[in-house]
Amino acid sequence: MSKLKILLLNTQMEAAGAQKAMLTLARGLQQRGHAVTVVTMYDKADYVPLFKQKYGVNIIDLGMKSPTDTSTFQKTVCTLKGLGQLWQLIRRERFDVVQTFTHYSNIIGPIIAWLAGIKIRISSQRNSLVKYPPWFLWLDRVIANSFLVQRMIAVSEDTRKFSISEQGIAASKLVTIYNSVNTERFQSVELSLEDKDALRYTLSGAHNTKIVLTIAKLHPQKGHRYLIQSIPGILKEFSEVHFLFAGEGELCQELTLMTQQLGVVDVVSFLGVRQDIPQLLSVSDIFVLPSLWEGMPNAVLEAMAVGTPVITTNVGGCPEIIRDGETGILIPSENSDALAQAIIRLLGDAPLRQQLSQAAQHWVVEHFSEEKNISAFEQLYQSLILAKV
């Protein structure tokens, strides 16, 4: 297979699923000998240096958004300057493939890449665009269906079907490539019993409490409010439970207020962004993701790889990775009572937790390895290049 020059573009650099998938792909392609450059339109909070070190890939920040640019004129100048830098970079480096990963980069990236003379331009639909404004759905459809985009990657079959039926994107443009997880990294977490107990105590303030963990940006999509609403009912059945929320986002203050109003502040910890996700999962008894809509949640794959029993909602791509009652538990979305009952069920059934853990680990290794994901992208790139020759 010939070695390629590939540019991967996203809108903002942050600790979120699309960015993790992009950087994981970049690292994997680079390890296979391809020359990969990651470009972000702006860095949300100094993530670029951190991710350069963590993933070992070249990341360029275009600086198209700055907290010091307050006027419309300053913002416009900053944006235009960044777009010019992107065009110059693509024109100079003559990439074989330009692929975009996030919604706004899907709009801008293909246009700039076409103007710079790049033949292979690929976009990504990482989520079903629920609750997006009609103008954006129209623009997304127009760009995806045009000559500007050869293919659009959908991260799940549900997302692909949504893009076709709800947005009107041509089926011929869409290819499903599932997200993946580094199964070796997540399955090789080796903490001694003493270290696990120490970490559990640090996180919860107790040695013998059960831990329920969720990892997601604090955004309405992820349904954190329903998990918080379920806590009083859970505590009636199991008093020794602590709930961990890993992630940052716009709802932090609102969710904190909810815990105060419900009187559950003492059993809830907001951890912010963490760099020790495998370790957090390894000391947790249950992983919960109560999303209202999804594409293909990385956090669920990571929990499955570690062997932490998963409860998630029956939305988006979740049913494509969770077999209800076999590799995890599926519940209706926006239903705190169903969530409480599922958590109570698992907390009270250690053999079921063990059964789900073992089945999930086997399933994720078989179907969602990084090797499969990277190979699928390589094959797509090569097929599109050969078609253009």
Structure-token pair, residue 223: 């349904």
**E strand or H helix that includes residue 176:** strand 174-176
CA distance 212 to 290: 12
Convert the pLDDT of each residue in 129-166 to its tens digit.
Answer: 888 899 999 999 999 999 999 999 999 999 999 999 99
Cβ distance 283 to 203 under 8 Å? yes
Average model confidence (pLDDT) for the chain? Answer: 94
Report the helix count and the strand count for the chain, using DSSP H and E: 16, 13
pLDDT at 280 over 60: yes
CA distance 245 to 252: 10
* DSSP state at residue 118: -
Convert the pLDDT of each residue in 186-226 to its tens digit.
Answer: 887 778 888 888 999 999 988 889 999 999 999 999 999 99
Q: Count CB-CB contacts under 10 A for residue 216.
A: 25
Q: What b/e string do you get for 73-99 counting C-beta neighbours within 10 Å, with b at 16 or more?
A: eeeeebbeebbebbeebbeeeebbbbb
Convert the pLDDT of each residue in 98-111 to its tens digit.
Answer: 999 999 999 999 99
Convert the pLDDT of each residue in 162-196 to its tens digit.
Answer: 999 999 999 999 999 999 998 888 887 778 888 88
Q: Count CB-CB contacts under 10 A for residue 120.
A: 21
pLDDT at 9 over 90: yes
pLDDT at 88 over 70: yes
Q: Count CB-CB contacts under 10 A for residue 237.
A: 14
